[in-house]
Each structure stands twice: as C-alpha cells, then as structure tokens.
Copies of this chain bind each other. A is one copy, B any other.
Amino acid sequence: MARRRQSVTIKHVAADAGVSLQTVSRVINKEPNVRPEMMERVQASIAKLGYVPSIAAQRMGGSRSYLILALNDRERTIADWRKREGSDWIDQMLLGGMLTCAEHGYRMIFELVDTHSDHIERELSAALAALQPDGVILTPPHSHNPLITGLLERAGIAFARIGSLKPGGGFRLTMGDEVASRDATMHLAGMGHRRIGFIAGPDDYELSAWRIEGWRWAMEAVGLGIDDLLTAGDFSYASGTAAAAQLLDAGATAIVASNDQMALAAVAEVRRRGRDVPGDISVVSFDDTPVVRFHHPPLTAVSQPIAEVTSRAVGLLIADANGETNIAPVEVKAQLVPRGSTGPLRSSN
C-alpha cells in the first residue's frame, strides 16, 4: 500500500526552469501574458523532466478535469455484452469519443447508469461527484430522461444528447433517422414493392418515432397505404419474429426493421415459411452492426455513424468549455447501404 505521490510536480519544473509555480501553470494552460522565451524555457524543463500535470490536482485547483463522461444505459449495455450478438455500438462510441478527446488533451471515461428511477439520480450524482467531468455524453434512452438532463443542468455541467431533440438543455445530436428511414422505404418502393411493412422500435426511444415517420412519409409520397403494415417491436429478436409474422400474414413483400436483431429475426421468419430473402421478401435493417454483414445474405441496412456523432459530441463539449457557443442541433446523416437482402419485387408476388 505504498502511498504514491506524483514523482515530478510543477514545483520541480519551476525550480528547474528558475521561474515561479504560477508561470509554469500559465504555460501548461496556454494562458496569454507569458514571454515567449519564458515559455520555451518552461516547456524545455517540462519535456526534460517528463512532467505531466496531475488531473486530480488540476481539478482541485479549480480548473477543468479534462474528463468527458460517456453515459450508457446499464441494463441494456450489460445485456448486449452478455448476449454477445456482435453489437459494436459501444466500440464505435469509444472509437469516435476517445480519439477526439485525445486530440484535445481530454480523456473519455465510459460509465453505465441505470435508467430505473430509484437509482438514477443517486448513481449519476455519485459519478459526477467522484469524477467531476467537464462534460457528459448521453445516449438513448438517457438522452431524453428529464431526471438526468435536469440534474445535469442544475449541476451546471455541459452535456450532449445523442438521439434526442426534446427540450431539456444540452447539445442535441441526431443521425437523420427520419430521412434514413424514408430512403430505406424509397429504396424498396423503387424496386417495385408496394406492401412495405415496418417494425417499429420501443416507444421510449425518440428515434423509434422518427423512423416510423420516415417510413410513413415515403409510403405517402409514392401513394401507398400503410393500413396494417406498421408493427411494434422492442429491439429484441423475439419481438422481430412476432412482428415479421404479422407483416407476412398481412401480405408484405418487404420489411423495414428498426434494428438489426429484428431484421435478422424477420429473415428467419421468412425462411421458416419456406420463402426466400430477397427472392420473395426484401428486408432492410437499422444500425448495421457487424453481424449484418456476416449474415447470408448480407443485409441492406441503414448504417449509423456512431463514431462520428460521438466525436462531434465531444467536439461540442470541448468547444463549450472553451467558451465557444453553439446551440443548433447537429445532424450526422446515417447512410443506406444496399446489400443482398433487398431485391426487385417478384412478379409472382
């Protein structure tokens, strides 16, 4: 239990460079009003001694913590990890977030918090008090949870909300779900499909509604009815199976599913009925996690730019910490990637 202390501190640098602590501090924080020669001298000492500021001490001194907290839903994330279904949402967040943080001298810390309201405020407060991050990134369903956004606002901590446009403060980032859903539907309509079913995501995700909206928009645009072609899902494989069965019963020749697992389930259901994808039925999925590309056939999917949107979120947070202002919602567009699960309507249909 050796009590380790910082080996080389600002004091050593100051002594080595023959200046005051404060001057070193100024150099570290790139403050103005330091003569260039002083600055060089200090930086030489820093490099020579291999000095790196202690983020704990910086925080104690009242400055930034240089920490960005990425928050995800505990229950869902752990379930995904345990299932090992190949979702790489978290990996992509880390990819975009960590790299952009690193570019600005920040670090990203990844944490899980429950959505369940008993814990949520306590847990979040604990994470904030313990870590004291300069900014927080929220993903659905946290990003539109008023308990969370409210707490963050009261605490005066900058935050970015991915996948939410509801009021509640913070920066809003989206991935153009409505347009993407419309594109997916148009892609199918363009191949001659007229009975294009939709499997929705759970209500507690704002993007579920956006995706429905895009589909509805497209169906109307090409003059198709949507009567019994909208079904409910909850992002689970099982719900995808049920919804697909319903749509096939209703005579759908194409299906847009609000996530990969439900799309995979839909393909399986089509085959269970002795029919073929894309020969008889076309399927499009949302998210485009890796499993979709290893599937046979690879699924046509809406690819979500998670890494990019997380990177943008980090950028907004850091810009904010630097006093730059930006309130307009940011949209990083998802892309439809046509693959083997969609094809022309078969004339026999």
Contacts and interface: CB of A to CB of B under 8 A. Distances in A.
Given A53-B130, A107-B130, A131-B55, A84 B88 contact: yes
A125 interface: yes
A86 B112 CA distance: 21
A82 interface: yes
A95 interface: yes
A264 to B, nearest CB: 8
Nearest to A51: B129
B90 A94 contact: yes
Nearest to A57: B60
A296 interface: yes
A78 B322 CA distance: 28
Contacts of A129: 6-8, 51-54
Contact of A132 (B54, B82, B132): B54
A332 interface: no
Nearest to A121: B50
B1 A125 contact: no
Nearest to A320: B1
A8 B155 CA distance: 12
Of A4, A62, A125, A126, chain B has the most CB atoms within 10 Å of the CB of A4
A291 B110 contact: no
A293 B86 CA distance: 10
Contacts of A125: 50, 52
Given A60-B57, A62-B5, A92 B81 contact: yes
A91 B85 contact: no
Which of A82, A91, A126 neighbours the largest number of chain B CB atoms within 10 Å of its CB? A91
Contacts of A321: 1
Contact of A290 (B5, B84, B94): B84
Given A86-B291, A110-B110, A126-B52, A157 B4 contact: yes
A65 interface: yes
Nearest to A1: B323
A60 B52 contact: no
A22 interface: no
Nearest to A321: B1
A74 to B, nearest CB: 9
Interface in A88-117: 88, 90-92, 94-95, 98-99, 107, 109-112
A3 interface: yes
A2 interface: yes
A56 B56 contact: yes
15 contacts: A6-B132, A53-B129, A54-B129, A54-B130, A56-B132, A78-B95, A81-B88, A81-B94, A81-B95, A84-B88, A86-B291, A91-B91, A107-B130, A107-B131, A291-B294
4 A-B pairs closest in CB distance = A86-B290, A52-B129, A56-B59, A56-B56
Interface of A: 1-8, 50-57, 59-60, 62-63, 65-66, 78, 80-82, 84-86, 88, 90-92, 94-95, 98-99, 107, 109-112, 122, 125-126, 129-132, 155-157, 289-291, 293-296, 307, 321-323
